[in-house]
Amino acid sequence: MTEFEIQRNLRAMNAPRMPGRDLWPAIAARIEAGESAPHATRRRWLPLAAAAGTVLAIAGSLLFVTLRDHTGGPIESDDYAMATQFQRITPQEARDEALRSGQDPRLAGANIVIDAAHSELQQALEQHPDAVFLVSLLNRTNAQRMKIEQLGAKAG
């Protein structure tokens, strides 16, 4: 098959395709079971999204600070305090929790903030599943989580 034929056949795949069975009875049953009639959720997700965005920004700052700390840079204690205060825990509590769970205590604050951001974004996305920017924010939290994990692995 030539490149042209592949492209032509790929474009031809963009056709509606009915499910093999009627899905409506199952959909109707789930709707009726949930009693989730259409309701005005307009903009209700915005405060959540804004909060999640703020948490993500803090997480980014905290990760940056943690990275600098890891590479021998000065500790930005104000940023760290701000991030942990947002979660209403002290740095000492974060370190204790990290030690209990076997994590690197230097990364505990960043992990907590990332978890909070992820949770809030998931909640916002459930309320507004077609919001593209929420998916992007969620992906950014996942990327930052991976950076933290990689950093933890490098630190041993």
Partner 1 sequence: MPLPMTEAPRTQPAPSQDADAELVRRAATGEMRAFEALYRRHAGRVHGAVWRLSGMNEARAEELTQEAFIRAWQKLASFRFESAFSTWLHRLAVNVALMDLRARDPEDAVESDVLEAASEPVIPFCAGERADLEQAVAKLPPRARAVLVLHDVEGWKHEEIGRELGMAVGSSKAQLHRARGLLRTMLGEAS
Q: Which of 5, 71, 74, 102 binds partner 1 (CB under 8 A)?
A: 5
Contacts (Cβ under 8 Å, ≥6 apart) of 1: 9
Residue 61 has which token pair?
Answer: 């700052």
Which phi and psi (to 5°) does residue 128 adopt?
Answer: -140, 75
Site string for partner 1, 16-55 (x = CB under 8 A): xxxxxxxxxxxxx-xx--x-xxxxxxx-------------
* Alpha-carbon span 123 to 129, nearest angstrom: 10
Is the CB of 19 or the CB of 102 nearer to partner 1?
A: 19
Output the CA–CA distances (angstroms, integers) from residue 74 to 7, 131, 140, in the order listed. 54, 38, 25
With binding defined as CB under 8 A, does residue 78 bind partner 1? no
Inter-residue contact 123 to 131 (CB < 8 Å): no
Task: State the sign of the Cα–Cα–Cα–Cα dihedral 51, 57, 58, 63.
Answer: positive
With binding defined as CB under 8 A, does residue 3 bind partner 1? yes
Is the CB of 87 or the CB of 127 nearer to partner 1?
A: 127
Q: Which of 72, 74, 102, 132 binds partner 1 (CB under 8 A)?
A: 132
With binding defined as CB under 8 A, does residue 136 bind partner 1? yes
With binding defined as CB under 8 A, does residue 135 bind partner 1? yes
List of residues contacting partner 1 (CB under 8 A): 1, 3, 5-7, 9-28, 30-31, 34, 36-42, 125, 128-130, 132-133, 135-136, 138-140, 142-143, 146
